[in-house]
Amino acid sequence: MSTQTDTVTSEQDLLARVTVAEGVEIHEPATGDLLGRAPEHTTDDLERVVTAATAAQPGWAGLGHAERSAVLLRIADRIEAAAEPLARLLAREQGKPLNGPNARFEVGACSAWLRATAATVLEEEVVVDDGSQVSVMTYRPLGLVAAVGPWNWPLMITVWQVAPSLLMGNAVVVKPSEKTPLSVLALVSLMAEELPDGVLGALSGGRELGASLVAHPAVRKVMFTGSTAAGRKIVEASGANLARLTLELGGNDAGIVLPDADPRAIAQDLFWGAFINTGQTCAALKRLYVHESIHDEVVAALADVAKAMPLGRSLDEDSVLGPVQNSMQFEVVSGLVEDAKQRGGTVVTGGSPLSDLGPLFYPVTLVTGLHDGDPLVDQEQFGPALPIVSYSDVEEAIASANRLDVGLGASVWSSDTARAQEVADRVEAGTVWINSHGGVHPMAPFGGVKGSGYGVEFGVEGLKALGVPKVVTRPAAPAAQ
């Protein structure tokens, strides 16, 4: 166990654990203030952490499922005890507000997910029992898992990657996004307090360090959440170490509103489907196709919801929308909206930066009058701008939803669930929601198709992806005389 179990009462206590005197400056998106300096780990650090994890893994695996599950529950308690400091650190580093489905929600989801994972059991399976032989399949730990994550939901995604890995008896090395390292390092330090030394390590650095980690010969599995471009590079790297991969990559989720939907009834859920985490969510609604008969009413209802949502600084208790996390993403969002305007798109609300609040603030922006092929429709904006496209025939909307080379999530909105189900069956995506968008559940497998990646997380299927099947075959017992 780690010796660092000092009390955590504020985000300053967490920062004291993870910041260094000489390191990469991490600035708060909402204010531009310096939050702290993150370590820049080297390839020597990588070797040290990987060696420790590899050495610790057999002992961890030997504890057995019940004891590992109990440790996950203790980790959940530890996170709960430090929930407010973690949420404040997350808000300051990532930019998301404390309230709404944001920082406090994310930290709460971490402990809830750990508890749900701890309660998930992967039973042994009798795969053959034909009178002459009995074959029983169990799942063994893989060994060392590399967990590489993005900056949008940094804590929750770390838990999604780490909790099932640990439960299955693996050791894990986490490489957080270089844009949000401090909150993840703080989370890992809390988790490690409850674990044998070395079982869970973390490395802070950029994409080169991530590339070195995933290509390391000791790594047996990579849990990766991030861009499709980086995912492709990880696939190439796995040609050398044959690491198994779970790839949760980018998306451009379509929503289809059928003509019988009630615009006012669905507006709030449409809004959060698109703008949760200020639009910076992998499985957010990123292009909305609305039947022409109710297009204007849906747009008006969504605009009303958008105008009522407080946007502001991350530590302001009133905010439920915050800044864009970084300038690169801000340029993507504002560039796509500018391009949409040039093409004749109509900005219904928002549409230009809120510079008075700070350089990274961009309002919720709804754009109508666009078509398939326009960049705001075809490219992942990953921020607070939503194109709303009018369609006349549902066949056309299904074809639009399926025409891109991504398929993480999608949604169908209708007053007729059976009709919505028929459409959902024809949409190419890992998850299709009916009358909601983006909700995840610890028992429902989640993953993408096409350029959105392969493999699934969560539930029993997620556990299977963190183990290696092993079959033991024996002769069947002779029939009793």
Q: Enumerate the active-site residues.
A: 248
User: Near ligand NAD by CB under 6 A, which window of 223-231, 314-322, 344-352, 394-402?
Assistant: 223-231
Query: CA–CA separation, 411 vs 429, rounded Å?
Result: 9
DSSP state string for 161-220: HHHHHHHTT-EEEEE--TTSHHHHHHHHHHHHTTS-TTSEEE----HHHHHHHHH-TTEE
Query: CA–CA separation, 428 vs 403, rounded Å?
Result: 9
Query: CA–CA separation, 403 vs 400, rounded Å?
Result: 5
Verify binding: residue 272, ligand NAD, rule CB under 6 A: no
Residue 213 or 348: the one with the smaller Cβ distance to ligand NAD is: 213
Verify binding: residue 251, ligand NAD, rule CB under 6 A: yes
Residue 42, SS3? coil
Give the total of residues touching ligand NAD (CB under 6 A). Answer: 28
Query: Min. distance of Cβ 157 from ligand NAD in angstroms?
Result: 6
Nearest by Cα to 78 from 47, 115, 46, 44? 115
Residue 154 or 312: the one with the smaller Cβ distance to ligand NAD is: 154
Residue 321 or 408: the one with the smaller Cβ distance to ligand NAD is: 408
Instruction: State which of positions 369-408 bind ligand NAD (CB under 6 A).
Output: 380, 382, 408
Query: Min. distance of Cβ 150 from ligand NAD in angstroms?
Result: 3
In the stretch 200-219, what mask flags binding to ligand NAD with x, by CB under 6 A?
A: ------xx--xx--x-----
Query: Min. distance of Cβ 447 from ligand NAD in angstroms?
Result: 8
Query: Min. distance of Cβ 129 from ligand NAD in angstroms?
Result: 38
User: Near ligand NAD by CB under 6 A, which window of 31-39, 67-75, 196-204, 224-232?
Assistant: 224-232
Residue 175 or 221: the one with the smaller Cβ distance to ligand NAD is: 175
- 318 half-sphere exposure, CB direction, 13 A CA radius: 5
User: Near ligand NAD by CB under 6 A, which window of 185-193, 228-236, 390-398, 469-477?
Assistant: 228-236
Verify binding: residue 253, ligand NAD, rule CB under 6 A: no
Yes or no: say if 122 and 66 are a contact pair by the CB < 8 Å rule: no
Verify binding: residue 442, ligand NAD, rule CB under 6 A: no
Residues 95, 100, 150, 353: which binds ligand NAD (CB under 6 A)? 150
Verify binding: residue 252, ligand NAD, rule CB under 6 A: no
CA distance to 132, 266, 398, per residue, from 297 (Å): 67, 11, 21
Verify binding: residue 277, ligand NAD, rule CB under 6 A: no
CA angle 418, 419, 421 (to 5 degrees): 65
Query: Min. distance of Cβ 191 from ligand NAD in angstroms?
Result: 18
Residue 156, SS3? helix
Query: Min. distance of Cβ 59 from ligand NAD in angstroms?
Result: 28
Residues 38, 184, 230, 332: which binds ligand NAD (CB under 6 A)? 230
Residue 65 or 233: the one with the smaller Cβ distance to ligand NAD is: 233
Residues 37, 233, 244, 371: which binds ligand NAD (CB under 6 A)? 233
Yes or no: say if 156 and 106 are a contact pair by the CB < 8 Å rule: yes
Strand 365-368 with 346-349, pairing = antiparallel
Residue 36 or 453: the one with the smaller Cβ distance to ligand NAD is: 453
Query: CA–CA separation, 180 vs 26, rounded Å?
Result: 8
Verify binding: residue 148, ligand NAD, rule CB under 6 A: yes
DSSP state string for 393-446: -HHHHHHHHHSSSEESEEEEE-S-HHHHHHHHHHS-SSEEEES--S---TTS-B
Residue 224 or 289: the one with the smaller Cβ distance to ligand NAD is: 224
Query: Min. distance of Cβ 428 from ligand NAD in angstroms?
Result: 15
Instruction: State which of positions 282-311 bind ligand NAD (CB under 6 A).
Output: 282
Verify binding: residue 177, ligand NAD, rule CB under 6 A: yes
Nearest by Cα to 382 from 307, 448, 330, 429? 330
CA distance to 6, 14, 326, per residue, from 190 (Å): 10, 9, 26
- Name the region of 95 (left: φ>0; alpha: ψ -120 to 50; beta: rest): left
CA distance to 145, 225, 301, 384, 425, per residue, from 387 (Å): 38, 25, 15, 10, 24
Residues 234, 267, 367, 389: which binds ligand NAD (CB under 6 A)? 234
Residue 45, SS3? helix
Query: Min. distance of Cβ 437 from ligand NAD in angstroms?
Result: 14
Query: Min. distance of Cβ 178 from ligand NAD in angstroms?
Result: 5
Residues 57, 111, 152, 238: which binds ligand NAD (CB under 6 A)? 152
* Contact positions vs ligand NAD (CB under 6 A): 148-152, 175, 177-178, 206-207, 210-211, 214, 225-227, 230, 233-234, 248-251, 282, 380, 382, 408, 448
